[in-house]
A and B are shown apart, each in its own frame.
Chain A
């Protein structure tokens, strides 16, 4: 959570400044943009945290930004903050995958809660991504022979059947299995298969 940043996008300089101030006082890192276009230009893939955006802005609106993020595969959670609390726009924003929808002027406690949970969501997503990456790199360290044994294990064959299929002794299959479990850092056959899947 340490590298998480709240990206504040609002065309109103006072709103940007005051939100920036209160969030930093609450101990959050922020970065301010005066337009959605500005944000998209400076965006870096390694950015973590969440977006807090106004809905109505000259040029690209909050809804347009959501669409652009989706198109570029940027998965940062979006919290919409608007002075226009009308039902149709809210519906569109939520359908577009907004994390939450807040009306101006906003209670700072509520804002902080929402932003924190948005950042937590972002963290979870990254943790999951990281775990997946680790598994993938570990699987890559298996030898071709070990990989073949693993595939047959996944198919549900017994050690004896695998030995017959690969024309090796069941004892050798046993050895491969033990080495794979060590490489993939798992303690049971069930865990081994879950990782491989």
Chain B
């Protein structure tokens, strides 16, 4: 509050002082002078301190009337005139403040608004001021137009020269080092301007007004150097010098003419300053954008190279340096073909595979996208390259794993087939061998003792046994697959198998849910467990394909039950028909049209060879209401350790 009042009092004192100093060639001893810097001060004060300080402006105007001019009219007229001045500039400040002080003169549009606002307000204030005194009888009505013109040009000039400078005052402390650095320039500019003014107005005979346009040159020079502030400072300097040197010798009307010139000068400089400010901020924006682009390129994970039309590299980002194992110096200026021998520069965005060459001579597989740059960009090509070595390796790994799974699957299938065949054929062979032996015994006591009978029967028996041996060898060959146990994580194993079915599942609209509660590694044969899961999922999807869409769901759950791993695969399908439930795990038992009936038999054999078990969840199959099927896999864990 006190601070605010101090500012107000200071402002009033400054106002009165400025009014006194610029009280040159007044009209009828009224405050109608050709240059009114006090108007500029008022606007700056109201903009800086807020429009609510408007009463201070009226007080200042009234004080000036009393102190400088000794109350030239009735009190009521003086008060009215003061209120008009205060209200006019208060309203302007309120309007202009909406844009924000920092942007008041930062663009052409803002500068135009500022100037136009100042001109209109000054006109209104001048009109009101003149009308008040005409009404008070101090100003003859015939002089009113002249008074309004003089007052208007004076106020506008005061605002254009002083307000921008005063608005910048709070920044003065920060700007001081820069000013000191360029002291010589400022001094030379000031001296040049002073000399010019002396030559124009001091030495030459007065009244040679047209020559005053020469002043544009130094003012524009100064504006180009210092912007809006420089423009204001230069016009203020001219104004003060003019009043000091020329005012006593000039007639009132010439002085007003000079004021018009100065208004034009100030306006021109102000607009130029605004253009410069716009340009500076545009340049800053471009610089920011460029810095961001550079950072983006530097941080990009892919190599980005720019070349000219001839294929010489003009820039390379950090990823490119890493990709080719070369420094920026080695890359820039080199021919692209040196690094990407197969590259043909064409405007094609689709990715291509090329082989690249590193600085150390090593080759790698790269994926390239290329785009042609046309003006306004520097003509040439922009290439984005990515090292595909790791990607290819992962792909190969995946393919190999699939192949291994398929091979193991075929092997297990053949094994199960051989086992089933051995069992089925061994039954008749057993009967055959026994019959042959029986015949041999029966033939022994016969009257006709032909030794060839026994010989032949023994040979027949031997052949039957040989057939059985062949079958057993076949079976043992496929069963011989040694276990390949290792510590593995369950989650990725399941994800691998599930991903193989994801296409089919989404085609059928099947929701594949997982509930895996085994975080640590377990010791199992990866491929065998994958095969089992593969079989169960395949069966589940087959079953779901025959049910109504909408409720197709497969749920895979994995948990630990003591030392055993328990994996369940549950579907919402049609369930296992009761007539095959008993022999579900026998080979060649199936309810599928095109099934061999070996999947579950194989799966059970595999699990049993590891000491595990595969069974149909009995609690579900006995419940007639329950639909769907749940298979339970149990697998003992040789040793389990917590994952690091």
Residues of chain A whose beta carbon lies under 8 Å from any beta carbon of chain B: 12, 14-15, 17-19, 21-22, 25-26, 56, 58-59, 83-86, 88, 104-106, 108
Contacts and interface: CB of A to CB of B under 8 A. Distances in A.
B288 interface: no
24 contacts: A12-B430, A14-B431, A18-B431, A21-B435, A21-B438, A22-B434, A25-B442, A26-B441, A58-B583, A59-B582, A83-B422, A83-B423, A88-B609, A88-B611, A104-B430, A104-B468, A105-B426, A105-B429, A105-B430, A105-B433, A105-B434, A105-B464, A105-B468, A108-B433
Contacts of B465: 105
Interface residues of B, number: 28
A83 B438 contact: no
Interface string B414-437: 000001001110111111111101
B429 A104 contact: yes
A179 B357 CA distance: 114
Contact of A22 (B419, B441, B472, B582): B441
B454 to A, nearest CB: 15
A85 B473 CA distance: 12
A15 B426 CA distance: 10
Contacts of A22: 434-435, 437-438, 441
Contacts of B431: 12, 14-15, 17-18
Contacts, number: 69
B608 interface: yes
A29 to B, nearest CB: 16
Contact of A84 (B423, B428, B582): B423
B437 A15 contact: no
Interface in B380-436: 419, 422-424, 426-435
Main secondary structure of the interface of A (DSSP, over half): loop
Main secondary structure of the interface of B (DSSP, over half): helix
A88 B604 CA distance: 12
Contacts of A83: 422-424, 426-427, 430
A21 B472 contact: no
A108 B431 CA distance: 11
Contacts of B438: 18, 21-22, 25
B168 to A, nearest CB: 96
Contact of A15 (B422, B427, B442, B479): B427
A21 B609 CA distance: 37
Nearest to A10: B427
Interface string B434-454: 110110011000000000000
A86 B611 CA distance: 13
Nearest to A19: B434
B434 to A, nearest CB: 3
Interface string B272-314: 0000000000000000000000000000000000000000000
Nearest to A16: B431
